[in-house]
A = this chain, B = another copy of it.
Amino acid sequence: MALVAENRLFPVEGRSRDLARALYAQVRDLPILSPHGHTDPRWFAENEAFPDPAQLFVTPDHYVFRMLCSQGVPLAELGVPRVDGGATETDGRKIWRLFAENYHLLRGTPSRLWLDHSFQHLFGIDRRLSAETSDWHYDHIAESLAQPEFRPRALFERFNIEAIATTEAATDDLRWHRMIKDSGWQGRVLTAYRPDGVVDPEMAGFADNIALMGQQTGFDTGTWAGYLDAHRARRAFFIEHGATSSDHGHPNARTEDLPQAEAAALFAKALRGDCSADEADAFRGQMLTEMARMSLEDGLVLQIHPGSRRNHSDQVMGMFGRDKGFDIPGRTDYVAALRPLLNAVGMRPDLTVVLFTLDETAYARELAPLAGVWPCLRLGPAWWFHDSAEGMRRFREMTTETAGFYNTVGFNDDTRAFCSIPARHDVARRVDCSYLATLVATGRLAEDEAPEVAHELTYGLAKRAYRL
């Protein structure tokens, strides 16, 4: 049996379906551009075999383990590592069985589609995962992973990835990117500049990170000017390792454009650990504007990923740490928040700021109107919980009429689940082609214009926006 349907995600009605299929046929095999994500560059540097199926599909995938957790499965039984190094399940086969027994929980979710897509297309599996088939799947996948054609670089090539960006902290030594480059392998793996650890006074290790950045760059990061210079130097170092973008994961979209003396005083306070919550927020906001100004110098695309309320469970944070599925979106306002940055540099068409949201109410009300007029702004694709068929459809339906297609930037997979990358891009291509087909069938887009737009959504916009 086929795990995934041939015509999945296309419109059901005949003519729209035919239009969608025809558009999809033209973009299905285009190379993958993955300009924002969280794959581990070490995979491509060392090119070692992936460990067992559970380590590949369950333990690191927060979409999967959060759903099982929601129905009472303890994270420790899924092998999620503990902060204190305490005991968690290590038997991949047992973890896999727990996953298989609960596979029905994923019905109707994008994870189910990504997993089935991987099982079928990557591993050639033709039976559904369940308690009964658990061991069979486990063995089959484990055997495959032992083969050379399932090593990271082989998969990279098989996935037809033209370029992929990873994300590293500002103080990362980028050793894996260097190793990839030195290896002579031609796969294009870029880094991206993620300075949260040195711009967020509320991050553990803030001052130490900044001191390290001083050592790395030779600038006196105890001063505001030296700190900014150190950013410039680190950005240049990242650009040497392929970076075309920076990324910023703040709790909100606040920006500031303080007089430099005030900014310097705030920085000093932050370094001393004396910031109030509001001052820490203001400092993060100031740094977005500073980053935008540096982007005008060095050309990095600035990405803003705001709006996640992190670590909602104290118990899970204490036992398992960050990124364990307990990050919950909240309301996010953009209009007043972005005004300082935009009034500082927003009319510059040589600047690109890509906005993301976890709050879909902002699409039609704020983000599309903003991106539809400010020259620097572009809209990032449907993100995280909205990286799904419905999420992508809502994104297009709520942004296109005001922002058009050309203020968007194509798809991001934003994932650390390497095997899901082809599946995710495939979903995006199908949903976008279906959206375009619906526009054609309802007279909102000319049939001869649709293929060009489909190509842009799949390839052209990402290539240009991210300067790949």
Residues of chain A at the chain B interface (Cβ within 8 Å):
4-13, 15-16, 66-67, 69-72, 104-110, 113, 128, 309, 312-316, 325-326, 328-331, 333, 335-336, 339, 342-343, 346-347, 349, 358-361, 364-366, 368-375, 377, 385-386, 388-391, 397-398, 400-407, 438-439, 441-446, 449, 453
- The one of B5, B401, B442 in contact with A12, judged by C-beta atoms closer than 8 angstroms, is B442
Contact between chains at A330 and B333 (CB < 8 Å): yes
Chain B's closest residue to A11 (CB) is B12
Chain B's closest residue to A440 (CB) is B5
Contact between chains at A70 and B312 (CB < 8 Å): no
Contact between chains at A330 and B366 (CB < 8 Å): yes
- The one of B368, B390, B445 in contact with A397, judged by C-beta atoms closer than 8 angstroms, is B390
Chain B's closest residue to A387 (CB) is B401
Name the 8 nearest CB pairs between A and B, nearest first: A8-B443, A5-B443, A72-B349, A66-B373, A388-B401, A108-B400, A12-B441, A328-B369
Contact between chains at B349 and A358 (CB < 8 Å): no
- The one of B7, B9, B13, B107 in contact with A445, judged by C-beta atoms closer than 8 angstroms, is B107
Contact between chains at B329 and A314 (CB < 8 Å): no
Minimal beta-carbon separation of A420 from chain B (angstroms): 15
Contact between chains at A443 and B9 (CB < 8 Å): yes
Contact between chains at A70 and B309 (CB < 8 Å): no
Chain B's closest residue to A19 (CB) is B12
Q: Which residues of B contact A336 (CB under 8 A)?
A: 309, 330
24 A-B contact pairs sorted by A residue (CB < 8 Å): A5-B442, A8-B443, A12-B438, A67-B372, A67-B404, A69-B375, A70-B374, A105-B406, A107-B453, A108-B453, A109-B404, A110-B401, A113-B444, A312-B342, A312-B374, A313-B347, A313-B374, A328-B373, A330-B366, A359-B365, A364-B391, A385-B402, A389-B401, A389-B444
Minimal beta-carbon separation of A133 from chain B (angstroms): 14
Q: Which residues of B contact A375 (CB under 8 A)?
A: 69-72
Minimal beta-carbon separation of A451 from chain B (angstroms): 12
**With A372-B66, A404-B67 as given contacts, are A335 and B328 in contact (CB-CB < 8 Å)?**
yes
Chain B's closest residue to A9 (CB) is B442
**With A70-B372, A375-B69 as given contacts, are A329 and B365 in contact (CB-CB < 8 Å)?**
yes
Q: Which residues of B contact A330 (CB under 8 A)?
A: 333, 335-336, 365-366
- The one of B313, B366, B369, B371 in contact with A346, judged by C-beta atoms closer than 8 angstroms, is B313
Contact between chains at A70 and B373 (CB < 8 Å): yes
